[in-house]
Structure formats: structure tokens, C-alpha cells
Structure 1
Amino acid sequence: MLAEKLVVVVLISVFFAPALMAAASLIERRLGPSAAGWVGALPVAFAVAVIAVAVDSGPATAAAMALSAGVHVPAQVIFGVVFARVLHRHGLLRGAVFGALAYLVGALLIERLPAVLAVSIAVVVLSVAPRVMPSVPLLPASARRWPVTALTCAGAAVIVAAAVVSSRLAGPGLTGAVAAFPTMCTMLTVVAVTRDGASAGVHTLAGLVRSLPCYLAFCVTVALSAAVAGTTCVGLGLLACLAAAALTWKRVPVARTSALDTGQVLETAA
């Protein structure tokens, strides 16, 4: 029975991960890398994981996992800021390494704090982080070949499946820490940089930072309502996420194009 449930969780996650990456790729083609990073950071795949854990292990375990993920939002912010600043000055490889190390250090430090204090810190850093991101020109994404998108989606499926299996066997606390790592945005950043340069990667990470209030709203709502609402807590969490999205999307810079093959920019909005 445990093996069957684990297979179901993996299959569901494997489906949603590439679907989310494909959606982010389409949005990037239309609106640029900042919008793609914003979409990639939304807790869609994590919501599926919460449902699976709630059904399998009970709402209390799902609540603990969601709270753990929410507590790690400051580490996500540190990851985005450090990755972007190092990427801007020293390139993709160093940026990814320093970003991952920054997340690890931030996660280890934040876990020592009470959950209420950690969430409060998250609110503060989320309000400050967009101001310390590197300032680079916003250009529309170049035309992406669909094989690249397909490979990116396949890679996302493999990574998420591995994370689900390992976290499913390690308990809700570690699950939240693993799930909070911005895997999707990391992959989007790598693709954006290799195709369109460091500026595109910086904007992808800026989209991540601006989207994290949606992630935090989802996690906190699920953690607070799971004991009473059961699996319905995911619906409540998504409503809170949508409310935050309505506010944060307005601040995401987008680059609209009529024909990406020509690269003609029609509109750039802040």
C-alpha cells in the first residue's frame, strides 16, 4: 500500500512539474523572463504535494510540511538575490553555486528560529529584496526552439520526482526544506542565460523574488487551516495565493512582442 501511494504521488508530481515549466516557457515567449520567473515560483507543484501528503499521512503532517516550506521563504529570497548579483558580475556557474550555498546557509539559520519569527522575517525581506536586485535592461526573450522546452520539462519532471521520493521518506520538516528550494526557477534561469544572456537570468530571478509573497501566503494559510479544513486547506491556500498574485503581478516588468522572430518590442511596463 505504501509503495502504491508513493507511485501515485510521484506520477502526479511528474505530470504537474513539466506542465508548469511549459506554461512558464509560453509566458516567457510572450512577456519576457521576469514573468516566467514569477510563474515558475508559484506553488502549483507544491500544492499537489500537500494534497498527496494530507491524504496519505493526514492534515497535521501536511500542515507541518507547509509551515516548514513557508519558514524557508527568507532562504529563497537570499537565494534569488545572491544568485542574481553573482550571475550579473561573474557568470552563471558561480551564480548558481553561490545561490545554492546561500540557500543552504539561510535554511540552516532560519530553522533555529520560532516559526512566527521566521515568517515575520520573510515578510520584511520580501518587501526589501526587489530593491537590492541588480538593475539590468529588460529585453524580450528570443524565439525558443521547442526541443529545448521539452528537455527543460523532462528535467523538471525528473528533479521533482526525486524530491518527492526522498522527502516522502524523510518527514514533513525536511520535506518543506526540500520543496522550498526554487528548482523550477533555477532551471528557467539556466535556460534564459544560455539563450539570452545574463540579463535574462537576472530578470528571471527578479520574477522569483516578486512571486514569493504568493508562495508564503499559500504556505501560511495551509498551515493554519489544515487541522480544521482537511484537504480543503489547499483550496484556501490557493485563494490566498491568488490574492497575493493580484498584488505582486502588477510590479512584474513585462516585455510584450508582436513577433519574437523579429524581436520587435511593443511595450515594456513596470
Structure 2
Amino acid sequence: MLILKLLLIPGFLLLISLAGKRWGPSVAGWLSGLPVVVGPILFFLAIEQGPAFAAQSAVAALSAMFAMIAFCVTYAQVAQRANWPLALVVSLSVWAVLALILSLIPASLPFSVAAAATALLAAPYLFPKVQPVVGGPAPKSDKLVWRMIAGAALTLVVTMLASTVGERWSGLLAVFPVLGSVMAVFSQQTRGPAFTAALLRATATGMYSFSAFCLVLALTVPGLGFGGFGVAVAVSVAMLGVTRQLLAKPAPAPSTN
């Protein structure tokens, strides 16, 4: 399992980086919506703590979509005016505050669905209206190596914490912006703030797939056990295909009323 944790996220970061280089930030961010972090974490929790524990963690993870999208929006906005250290600190602080608030609210699937739906529907209107320069210089190879190392390190820390803090915080920590923070920082360094904003906006679009995974898992694991993971993955991939149509749409213009 340790080897899987060390290889899965860096490998996915490599694929996303190559996708960003080939097709631009929209496709790269959209692909990051796959539950490549939360899926393995919840699977490991199901093995170690039981399917019921994993189902409750999935409910918490679904509500944490609100904090995750807030992270993406905050980083994208701050990055237009400041360098990456400030953007990262502010956006992670927003995530932490919202995660703490969510941890204090009694867990329920209806609340989690409402929180995730609110964030997903509001997200397109909250990102900065910028046009990324896709044709700029490609990221240097050393940057790619460092982002893969950072992704592996963050994944290890999050999975270690998630297995020791109970089902509620396990679910919340499973949605810690591992991919988002690594991609945002290195994208801002190598491609600039406009590219980063487009990447994070597409990430929010891809989060429909992420949310579908958590919802289906919470509903199916209590009855199907580990078979629920297969159902959740299938629905998540199908949802990713549906949201592909949203990438072609321009960012909503602010209202003039």
C-alpha cells in the first residue's frame, strides 16, 4: 500500500502535466477531478476500519467539496495579485477554516449534497475572468520532478492523518487539496497566474466527477461492501465525460444589473 501511495499521485501529476502541455489548462484541470486521492484513501480506510467507516468518511468528503472549491477560487483570485507563497497560505487557510466549520456541523448526506451542489454551481461565477497564454514555454523538467515529489509527500501526510482522526476528519482530510496545491503552485511559477486560474476553474468543473464518486460510495458501500467502490468509480468516470462539455463554455460574464 505504501508503494501505491508513493506512485499513484506522482504518476497522475505526470499525466496532468503532460495533458496541460499538450491540450492546455482546461483539460489538465478537468482530469484532476478524478478521485485519484480520495478514492485510494477511502479504500484504505475501508480495509483498515471497515466499509461503514469508509461510507461515513465519504459523506464527510462530499461536504468538504465546499472547502475544496473555496481553495481553488481563493488561490486563483489571490494569484492574480500576489506570488505563490501568499496565494498558497491564504487559500489553505480558507480551506482549513471551512473544514473546521464543516467538522462542527452534524454529519448527514443531505447536508453534504447541498454543500457540494452549492459550491459546484457557484464556482464558475467566482473565478477571475482571464485568458491563459497556452503557448508559453513548457515547464522545466526539474519543476515536474519537484511537483511529483511534493505530491507524494503530501499524500503520505494526509493518508497518515486520515487513518487516525476518526471518520469525520478522515473524510475531510481526504479532500485536502493535494493535487490542487501542487498544480497551482507549479503552474503559477511556470505558466503564470492566468494559466493557473484557468487550470483551477477546470478543476472545479471536474469536481462533479469527484462528488459523484463520494455520493455513490456513501450510498453503495454499506450494502455492497467493496463492490461499492467499483460502482462509484464507474459513475465518476461517466460524470467526467458529461462535464467535458462544460469545458468548451466560456467563463460566465459578471452581471451588469
Question: Is 1:192 aligned with 2:184?
Answer: no
Q: Which whole-Å CA distance do the structure 2 matches of 1:52 and 1:208 have between them?
A: 24
What does residue 34 of structure 1 align with? 26
Q: Which runs of 4+ in 1 moved over 6 A?
A: none
Matches within 5 A, 1:222-241: 222-241=217-236
Q: SS of the counterpart of 1:44?
A: coil
Q: Which whole-Å CA distance do the structure 2 matches of 1:110 and 1:169 have between them?
A: 18
Identity over the aligned pairs, expressed in percent? 23
What does residue 112 of structure 2 align with? 118
2:126 pairs with one of 114, 132, 143: 132
Q: Deviations over 1:174-219 (max 9, x none)?
A: 1111111111111111111111111111112112211111111100
Question: Is 1:212 aligned with 2:207?
Answer: yes
Question: What amino acid is aligned across from residue 71 of structure 1 in structure 2?
Answer: S
Q: Which whole-Å CA distance do the structure 1 matches of 2:7 and 2:111 have between them?
A: 35
Q: SS of the counterpart of 1:89?
A: coil
C-alpha displacement of 1:139: 2.2
Question: For the Cα contact (< 8 Å) 2:70–2:94, is it kept in 1?
Answer: yes
Q: Which whole-Å CA distance do the structure 2 matches of 1:80 and 1:20 have between them?
A: 19
C-alpha displacement of 1:148: 2.1
Question: Is 1:69 aligned with 2:61?
Answer: yes
Matches within 5 A, 1:4-153: 8=1, 10-111=2-103, 112-115=105-108, 116-140=110-134, 142-153=137-148
TM-score normalized by structure 1? 0.85
Question: What amino acid is aligned across from residue 50 of structure 1 in structure 2?
Answer: L
1:251 pairs with one of 233, 246, 254: 246
Q: Which whole-Å CA distance do the structure 2 matches of 1:31 and 1:92 have between them?
A: 24
Q: Which whole-Å CA distance do the structure 1 matches of 2:61 and 2:209 have between them?
A: 12
Q: SS of the counterpart of 1:109?
A: helix
What does residue 263 of structure 1 align with? none
C-alpha displacement of 1:38: 2.1
Q: Which moved more, 1:40-49 or 1:21-30?
A: 40-49
Structure 1 residues 233 and 186 mapped into 2: Cα distance closer, same or farther (>3 Å)?
Answer: same
Q: Which whole-Å CA distance do the structure 2 matches of 1:224 and 1:143 have between them?
A: 42
CA RMSD of aligned residues (A): 2.1
Q: SS of the counterpart of 2:138?
A: coil
Q: Which whole-Å CA distance do the structure 1 matches of 2:25 and 2:89 have between them?
A: 21
Question: What amino acid is aligned across from residue 15 of structure 1 in structure 2?
Answer: L
Question: For the Cα contact (< 8 Å) 2:65–2:119, is it kept in 1?
Answer: no
Matches within 5 A, 1:157-176: 157-176=152-171
Q: Which whole-Å CA distance do the structure 1 matches of 2:124 and 2:38 have between them?
A: 24
C-alpha displacement of 1:114: 4.5
Question: For the Cα contact (< 8 Å) 2:59–2:107, is it kept in 1?
Answer: no
What does residue 257 of structure 1 align with? none
Structure 1 residues 75 and 33 mapped into 2: Cα distance closer, same or farther (>3 Å)?
Answer: same
Q: Which whole-Å CA distance do the structure 2 matches of 1:142 and 1:83 have between them?
A: 22
Aligned length: 249
Q: Which whole-Å CA distance do the structure 2 matches of 1:161 and 1:233 have between them?
A: 24
What does residue 255 of structure 2 align with? none
C-alpha displacement of 1:171: 2.2
C-alpha displacement of 1:77: 1.4
Q: Which whole-Å CA distance do the structure 2 matches of 1:93 and 1:161 have between them?
A: 22
Question: For the Cα contact (< 8 Å) 2:32–2:179, is it kept in 1?
Answer: yes
Q: Which whole-Å CA distance do the structure 2 matches of 1:125 and 1:152 have between them?
A: 27
